[in-house]
Structure 1
Amino acid sequence: MTTDEHLDAPPALTEAMIAGLPKVLLHDHLDGGLRPTTLIELAADVGHELPATEPDALAEWFVTAADSGSLVRYLETFDHTIAVMQTVEGLRRVARDAAVDLAADGVVYAEQRYAPEQHLQRGLTLQEVVDAVQQGFDDGVAEAAEAGHTITIGTLITAMRHADRGVEIAELALANRDRGVVGFDIAGAELGFPASNQAAAFAELRRENFPFTIHAGEADGASSVHDAVQQGTLRLGHGVRLVEDVVRGEGADVDAADRAQLGRLAQWVLDRQIPLEVAPSSNLQTGIAGTISQHPITFLRDLGFAVTINTDNRLMSATSMSREFTLLAAEADWNLDDLEQATLLAAFAGFAHRDVLERIVAEQILPGYEAARAQG
């Protein structure tokens, strides 16, 4: 290696460096990121029985239950988190905690998603749910600022794909588009509930020029991604099973990007740079791959797809953005340049207004990575 090559190489990533990097999180479920201590306290308040009442034991239960390789079983863990998010106080506290925890992890822009229709069991209206969550985010952003962390949070209002409330929830999102809500999503059991079932909701959102993302290519294959693309999604929630439309090379290096052949769907997503909201640890739990090194995220990145890094459900995966970065660095050889590229892709794929995203990039992301290089 020449001296110039050595100077151009990105610095070695350390745990401290990764912790300090600015991060952008596009795919994180509010009801999948509760602190175990908060969950225990809120469950006691509402009389909900948990599988464990000691924080470490409860955290371990969630990871074990989610680590089944089945999305259906994975989703069952939400019965406990949703149970304590049925009051204004519970929703507000969970949202506040999320903002504080993400900011402490270096997240400078986050989109938090949740389904208001799942929080009506104790008499709240849909709008009351949205108001409580927004107040919690406002509280958390202010608390984070007091601790020296600046974070911007936008909300994605989610409709459950197995229900028949898509238009109603889309209208709820539109009614709050100038009050913290930046986009729409559908979530829940993917297999058997195609995005086209909610076509009327997506048509309404397109008429109103309101952005949306769709969970696709997580528990169902490339056909689900195709369906989401046909609905006009601006991003793909997970999207990793898009690799089913890619023929890998032959020989020892089957993952060599220059030897892969893309099908028409994969080529369309690549050409239009539709961002993939990839959550590596979560994907391992739902059976996408056995290890981070085998996860298709690196292959998709090498093919040129707009890959972003996400947590999905921090409680169920016992993860954070710093942990996801660390795993990719340690097990898939991602370097500082790779992490910066994914972060910038995520920033400009955000649903906040462009001036907001440009300010975050200019004032937080680029200086943060420059500081990391200087430090290295």
Structure 2
Amino acid sequence: MVQHVLVAPDKFKGSLTAAEVASRVSAGLGVPTVELPIADGGDGTVDAAVAAGFGRVTIEVTGPTGERIPASYAWQPTGTAVVELSEASGLRRLPGGHEPLTATSYGTGELIADAVRRGAKRVVLGLGGSASTDGGAGMAQALGARLLDADGADLPRGGAALKNLARIDMSGFLDIAGVEFVVASDVDNPLLGPHGAAAVYGPQKGATPDDVKTLESALSRLAAIATTTHGLMGAVEHDDIVRAMGVAGAPGAGAAGGVGFAALAFLHAEIRPGIDYLLDLLGFGEQVKGARLVITGEGSLDEQSLRGKAPIGVAQAAAGAGVPVVAVCGRRTLSDDDLKAAGIEAAYALTDLEPDPARCMEQAGPLLERLAARLAADRRLAADA
């Protein structure tokens, strides 16, 4: 039996999807391959699930600034849905620039609601690339929660409006009995404080220092009202860490502008390491069996990669199966020693072939095929087939 090469890359952001990367690498190798595009919960998670055999469901939802947009989630007939926040509520969905105070996660809630009504028994929520800092309030509103001011009026969407929150009415909340919610995220920030959603991620979404103060105050109000009027401490008692720290202080509560908080608070979700969970979901363990090599990668192999990003997760999973790993990327700043410590034997970058970053982005596909051919020659893949 001919051993295969497992090609399991993440996307090259801005140029190639994970599926396109896998296809180009396979074409350049010229040996038997199995393609398994992957993701860590951010952009491309739905595409990766679809490539692994899930179906795609597309509906119209509310974008981060209120416009109606088509957005997709992945669906498995056994009852598992994979919802990617960036599909409905991501930065890439902003039509005219950042809206740090008013952007909403409402559309993500609409995707979840559709999946639950379709009969989902498990919803995997990938967090990453969020356009909003609303503490997941928009998501909760889309699922039927009413966020009310002191006069009993519904709050407008967006994080800043939460400063006027007085009460949360859950009487019309979607029936989620019997549905398991899993948040796939490697972010461990709490909701509030110097390491929280507003302080750390607000500026990335266009928030000024004054905006950050406004959002921090608004998120504090959400946390206080939710904890005192909604009994959140009891809602998540299955998690000792959450019980000890409170929902707002739980690791991951600050993910995606605080959507992690709402997932813990209102969906009773469990937060799992993004890449590890998704590798299991996508069937990496089965596909790596009998492989002689795993090729992973992403657009930039850098210090951020070492913080639980997809290629490192792949390397760790492959190590457990005793299969060597090499990586392809657009560029890399990690040393050979850094890579080897992470379980990656070697890395091949497009900038090895083309030093101009702009041309690397424009010609990523053909360059990647050439890079894969070089990798195959270096590893003597054809000779060993």
TM-score by length of 1: 0.29
Structure with greater strand percent: 2
Pick the structure with greater CA Rg: 2
